[in-house]
Amino acid sequence: MLHECNKFREHQAREILIQALEEQLKFRKTAVFTLREETNKASSALDKLKEQKQKNMEEETKIKVVEDEEMNDMDGPDESLDLNMDNISMGGENDSILNLVQGENFDASGGDFDMG
C-alpha cells in the first residue's frame, strides 16, 4: 500500500511539473512573439527615420545649391556686361579722364599731360 501511495505521489508530481513547464513555455512563446513585434516596429521606425533623414539631406542640398547660385550671381559682374574700356564713352570732360586711364595723351585743364 505504501508503494502504491508513493507511485501516486510521483504521478502527481510529474503532472504538476508538466503543468509548470507548459506555463513557462507559454510565457516564453508570448515573450518571443512580443519581442519580435517590438523589433519589427523598431526596424520600421528606423527605416522611416532613415527615409526622412535622406529627404532632409536632399532638401538641404537643394537649398545649398540655390544659395550658392545666388551667391555666385552676387559675387561677380554679370557676364552680359561688357567692361572693355574701349567701348565706354562718358562724354565731355569724362572722356579725357577715360583717355588718361587708358594711357593716352589728353588736355584736361588747359595744360598738356603726356602719359607716353
Collect the ranges in the chain with pLDDT lower than 70: 74-116
Burial class (CB in 10 A: 0-12, 13-18, 19+), 1: exposed
Torsion angles phi and psi, residue 106, rounded to 5: -155, 165
pLDDT, residue 106, reads: 47
Q: What is the pLDDT of residue 68?
A: 77
Looking at residue 36, its pLDDT comes to 97
Beta bridge partners of residue 106, listed in sequence order: 113
pLDDT at residue 72 in the model = 74
- Quote the pLDDT of residue 26: 98
Residues 6+ apart with CB under 8 A from 64: none
At residue 7, the pLDDT reads 93
